Amino acid sequence: MRRLDGKVALVTGAALERGQGACEARLFAAEGATVVLTDVQGEAGRATAAAIGEQATYVDLDVTDAAAWDAAMADVVARHGRLDCLVNNAGVWHTGGLLETSPEDYRRVVEINQTGVFLGMRAAARVMCEQGSGSIVNISSAAGLRGDPRIHAYVASKWAVRGMTKAAALELAPFGVRVNSVHPGLIRTPMSETEFAEGRPDPGASIPLRRVGQPEEVAELVLFLASDASGYVTGSEVAIDGAVTV
C-alpha cells in the first residue's frame, strides 16, 4: 500500500517544475494521493499538473486572497469530498536588511509568506475539523530558526510561520488535525538559482554536510508529515538544512 492512498492533498506554490511545491505534488501523486496544485503562474502550473498525470489538477490561487481560498476549498470538497493534507509552500524571497527594506517590500513578503499561511490554515481547518482528521504542513525556513541580517522581511515572515504553526497545532489537536512546520536550508530550486551563478563560491562549502539540499529531499520529509506514519507528530518544527542551524 502506498503512503497516501485515498488521500486528497492541496499544495500551494506548485507551478514551477523544479520547485519544492512541484516536487511535493509529484511525490504525493506517486504515493497514491489526488493532488491539487495551486499557484498564480497558470500556464506553468497546468503544464506541471499535466506532466504529473491524471491524479493531479491545477487551480489558480492567490494565497493572499481570502475569498480565493474559500473558493478553492469549496471546489476541492465538491470534486473530492474531503481534504486530507494542505502544504503551505508558496513563498517569496526579498534581499535586504532592516535599513534597505521598504515598507512596501516588507508588506509584500509578509502578505504572501505569513498571511497566505494563515488564510490557508483557516480555510483547510474548517474542512478538516468537520471530517475529524487532516495534516497541515507549513513550509518555513532555516531563516525561521535563526536571524539573518541580509533578509529582514523574509526572516520575520518565516519566524511567524513557526509560531503560527504551534498555535494552530494546539487549537486543532482536539479535532484530530495535525500542524507541523518544515525548515529547509539552502535547497536547489528556481528561487535559489542566483546562489549557483557562474563565478560565485560553492554554496555548499559552508554547510556542515558540504552540499546543498535537493527539493526531492524536502518532499520526502513533507510526505512523512502528511502521511499517517506521523500520526503522533504535531506542533513540531523540523529542520532539513544539513546542520546549518545546529
Question: Which residues participate in catalysis according to the annotation?
Answer: 154
Tell me how far the alpha carbon of residue 178 is from its chain's centroid: 15
Question: Up-side HSE of residue 46: CA atoms within 13 Å toward CB?
Answer: 3
Closest CA to 56 of 86, 120, 11: 11
Q: Which residues contact 123 (CB under 8 A, 6 or more apart)?
A: 66, 69, 70, 72, 73
Instruction: Please give the Cα distance from 97 to 99 (Å, whole number).
Output: 6
- DSSP character for 229? G
DSSP-assigned letters across all residues of 1-15: --TTTT-EEEESS--
- Asked whether 140 and 154 are in contact (CB, 8 A), the reply is no
- Asked whether 34 and 55 are in contact (CB, 8 A), the reply is yes
162's grid cell: 513557526
